[in-house]
Chains A and B, each alone.
Chain A
C-alpha cells in the first residue's frame, strides 16, 4: 500500500496547492484592480481640480466683463464719490438684472457691486434689497479694490459658494471705481455636473456636514469622519489617497480634496466616490462566471477532465494492485485454510498490514493447535507476538491460563470450535470482512483435535469436514509429563497414548464422575436438540475428555480441566475451562 499512500499524499498535496491557489490567486488581481481604480480616482480628482480652476477663471472673467458696462461704471463711480446710495442701488440692481437675466440658469447665486470703499451698492440674487454695508474686509473684495482679479470659496451660513471678483475701472481706465463679486452655487448642481463629466459620484462636505451628494446623503454618515481622520494627509498633499468607505453593504472608493480659499480653513472638501469592485474570493468568482466562461473554446475541459481521470485511474489502479488483489488472495487463502486445503497462509506473499494479518492468522493457528506450523519466513518478526500468551489471549479467543479463575467466555475456545474438535468438523472461515473473529474459524485447536479416526460417537458429517488436518496430527507435540499432583495416582509413564486412554480409563481418575455427568448432560442435550446419539458411549466420551484434559493441562500448566455442556446454534456443545487450584 506504499504506492497508494504516496499517491494519496501527492493528490492531497495537489489539492491543497489548488485550493491555496484558488484563494490566493485573486489577491494580486484584487490589488491590481484596486490600484487601477485608485488611478482612476486620481485622474478624476485631477480633472475635478482642473474643472474648479477653469470654472474660477471663467467666473472671474465673467464679472470682469460685466464690470465694463458703462451704466454700472457710472453708478459705482458716483457711489465712490459719495453719491446717494439708494438711487444708485436701484440703478445698479436693475442693470445687473438686465445684464444677467439667466442668473439662476448659469448657476450664479448672487452678483454684488461695491464702490471703491467696499460698500455694497447693489446686488441681485440673495438679499437684493440690502445695500450700504461694507464687505471690504473680505480678502477677495479687498484684492479686487486693489486691482486684482481673483477667486475664493466661502463657507458661510452652512453654504458653500465659489467667489469671483474683479475690479471695476473708470471709463478712462485710470482708477478703480468699485468691484463686482459673483457667488456661484457649489452644491447639488456642481455635484451633478461633475458626475456627468467625470463618471464618479460626488459629495461636498463642509465642517463635517455633507452639503450635497449624488448618492443618498443619509448613507454617507461615515464620510465626514473618514475625511477628518485624514486631515493631516489632506493638509500636506492637498488630497487623500483612495480610501475605502462602506455605504451599507457596498464598498466605495473615495478621494477627498479641499476647496481652495477660505473654505479650506473651514474644512470644506469635495469627495469623489466610485463603487469598489467586490473582492474576488473563489465563491464570488464562481458566482460571477457566465456560461461563456465554460465554453469549450475558453475552458480547458479536455486537459482538466483528462487529468482528473488520470488521477482517479492511477489511484484506483494502485488501490487494486496493492489492496484489493492481495486482499482477494488472502481471503481465498483463508477459505482454503478453513477447508484445510492448506496448513498455513503464505504470509510472505503479502506486504504491510495484510501480511500482518496473515502472520497473525498463522500465529493463532499455531497457538491453538500448539503444533509448530511450517516455519514462516517472517516468523522472526512476529514470533514474540505469536508466542506471547498475553498477546494471544488479548483477543479472548484462546485459553488464558495465567489467571487462577478465568471467565468461561474468555478462557475457553469458542464452543463451536470445541464441538468441532469433538466431532472433527472445523467450522468454515467466515471471511475477513467482519462478523465473528477469524481465528476460531481456523482449524480446531490442538487439545480438541480429533484423532486420526473420528470418534465412534461423532455424528456423521460431510466428507470434507470429517477428516481432521493430518498435518496437525503429525505435528502434534509429544505428550508432556503431567504435573506431579495430577500424575501422582498414575503410573510413572507420563501420559498414555490417546488410544490407550480412551480404551482403558482408570477408576482412579478423580474426574470420572465429572466426565460421566458431563456425558449424561451431553447426551440429554443432544436428544433435546434432536441430534443423534447413535454410537455415543461413556467410555469413549470419557477417554476423549481425558485426552483433551491432558493436553490442556500440559499446555497451560493447570491442575485439571472442567467441561460443561451447553447449547450452541441449536446443537449440543462442550466448553473446557482450565482449573489451576
Chain B
C-alpha cells in the first residue's frame, strides 16, 4: 500500500518531468530543405577537357554527387560531439565518402583499395598532412586536431578529393543526391547556414530558427553569378 502523501509527491514529480520534457521539445527545431547547385558544381566533373559531347542515342544520366555537399549551421549553442574514428576508402579512383564532418581530435583512416598508389596530402596545410605515398592496400591514419576545413588531395589523380570539416558542432547534414538535407535538434535563434561543395564553401546565408523549424530552398549561385553579385 502506498501512503497518500507519497502518491501526491510522485504525481507532482511526474507532472514536473512532463513539463520539462515538453519545454525541451519546444526548444529543439529541425532545419531542412533543398540545396540547388549550379550546373558547374553538379555536372560531376571538376576538370574538363576540350570536349564533352552527349551521345545521340541514350539519355544522359545525372552525376552522382556522392555526398560531396554539406550543409552546416554556425552560431547556435551546441553540445560538443566527442571525437570518433572515421575511415575513408579510396577505391575505383574515387574516395568514399568524399566529404566528412568530424570533431576536433578525430583520427581519419585513409585506406587505399585501388591497385595504384595514391599520394595524399593537404597542399594548403602541409604541416597538418604532408605528402605521403599510400600504396595499394595500405592505410594512413591522420589526426585532425584543429578546427577548420581541410581538403585532402591525391597528387597523381587530382579528381580524388576528400573534404574534411573539423568542428565539434553536431549541426550539419550531408546533402543527398537529390539535394535534400535535414539538421535536427537545432536550438531556436539566429544562425548562419553554410554550404560546402567540391572542396569549398559555396554558399552562406543568415537564418532565424523558430520553434516550428525551417524548410529552406538554398540556391547556390555559380561562379559567374557570384561575380555579378559581388560587382
Residues of A within 8 A of B (CB): 52-53, 56-57, 60, 64, 118, 130, 133-143, 145-157, 163, 166-167, 169, 173-176, 260-262, 264-266
Q: State whether the Cβ of B114 lies closer than 8 Å to any Cβ in chain A.
A: yes
B93 and A135 form a contact (CB under 8 A): yes
Complexed CA–CA distance, A176 and B159 (Å): 23
A139 and B44 form a contact (CB under 8 A): yes
B49, B55, B160 interface centre (most CB from chain A within 10 Å): B49
Chain A residues with Cβ under 8 A from B158's Cβ?
Answer: 262, 265-266
A137 and B160 form a contact (CB under 8 A): yes
B52 and A143 form a contact (CB under 8 A): yes
Chain A min CB distance to B58 (Å): 5
Q: State whether the Cβ of B1 lies closer than 8 Å to any Cβ in chain A.
A: no
Q: State whether the Cβ of B91 lies closer than 8 Å to any Cβ in chain A.
A: yes
Complexed CA–CA distance, A135 and B90 (Å): 11
Q: State whether the Cβ of B50 lies closer than 8 Å to any Cβ in chain A.
A: yes
Complexed CA–CA distance, A152 and B53 (Å): 13
Residues of B within 8 A of A (CB): 44-55, 57-63, 91-95, 114-116, 155-160
Chain B residues with Cβ under 8 A from A138's Cβ?
Answer: 93, 157, 159
Closest 6 pairs (CB-CB, A-B) = A137-B94, A134-B92, A137-B93, A151-B49, A265-B158, A173-B57
Query: With A133-B115, A137-B94, A265-B47 in contact, is A149–B55 under 8 Å at CB?
Result: yes
B91 (CB) vs chain A CBs: closest residue: A134
A60 and B47 form a contact (CB under 8 A): no
B55 (CB) vs chain A CBs: closest residue: A147
B55, B62, B158 interface centre (most CB from chain A within 10 Å): B55
B51 and A57 form a contact (CB under 8 A): yes
Complexed CA–CA distance, A143 and B46 (Å): 11
Chain A min CB distance to B62 (Å): 8
Interface SS of chain A? mixed
Complexed CA–CA distance, A426 and B52 (Å): 116
Given contacts A139-B47, A149-B52, 15 further A-B contacts (CB under 8 A): A53-B50, A133-B114, A139-B159, A142-B45, A142-B63, A146-B60, A146-B61, A148-B55, A150-B45, A151-B49, A152-B47, A153-B49, A154-B157, A173-B57, A266-B158
B157 and A167 form a contact (CB under 8 A): no
B50 and A56 form a contact (CB under 8 A): yes
Complexed CA–CA distance, A463 and B201 (Å): 123
Complexed CA–CA distance, A35 and B59 (Å): 50
Chain A residues with Cβ under 8 A from B49's Cβ?
Answer: 56, 140, 150-153, 163, 260-261
Chain B residues with Cβ under 8 A from A264's Cβ?
Answer: 47
Complexed CA–CA distance, A38 and B54 (Å): 38
Chain B residues with Cβ under 8 A from A135's Cβ?
Answer: 92-93
Complexed CA–CA distance, A112 and B21 (Å): 62
A146 and B115 form a contact (CB under 8 A): no
Complexed CA–CA distance, A137 and B58 (Å): 21
Complexed CA–CA distance, A135 and B92 (Å): 5
A147 and B58 form a contact (CB under 8 A): yes
Complexed CA–CA distance, A141 and B49 (Å): 13
A136 and B50 form a contact (CB under 8 A): no
Chain B min CB distance to A277 (Å): 34
Chain B min CB distance to A489 (Å): 119
B52 and A157 form a contact (CB under 8 A): no
Complexed CA–CA distance, A146 and B54 (Å): 9
A157 and B156 form a contact (CB under 8 A): yes
Query: With A147-B61, A156-B156 in contact, is A261–B55 under 8 Å at CB?
Result: no
Chain A residues with Cβ under 8 A from B116's Cβ?
Answer: 156
Complexed CA–CA distance, A118 and B91 (Å): 11
B44 and A143 form a contact (CB under 8 A): yes
A162 (CB) vs chain B CBs: closest residue: B49
Cross-chain pairs A/B with CB under 8 angstroms, 6 sampled: A137-B94, A137-B157, A139-B46, A149-B51, A156-B156, A260-B47
Chain A min CB distance to B101 (Å): 22
B155 (CB) vs chain A CBs: closest residue: A266
Chain A residues with Cβ under 8 A from B57's Cβ?
Answer: 169, 173-174
B51, B58, B95, B116 interface centre (most CB from chain A within 10 Å): B51
A60 and B93 form a contact (CB under 8 A): no
Query: With A137-B160, A157-B156, A174-B58 in contact, is A60–B44 under 8 Å at CB?
Result: no
Complexed CA–CA distance, A150 and B48 (Å): 8
Complexed CA–CA distance, A154 and B116 (Å): 14
Chain A residues with Cβ under 8 A from B53's Cβ?
Answer: 60, 148-150
B136 (CB) vs chain A CBs: closest residue: A133
A262 and B159 form a contact (CB under 8 A): yes
B159 and A175 form a contact (CB under 8 A): no
A150 and B52 form a contact (CB under 8 A): yes
Complexed CA–CA distance, A53 and B62 (Å): 26
Chain B min CB distance to A198 (Å): 18
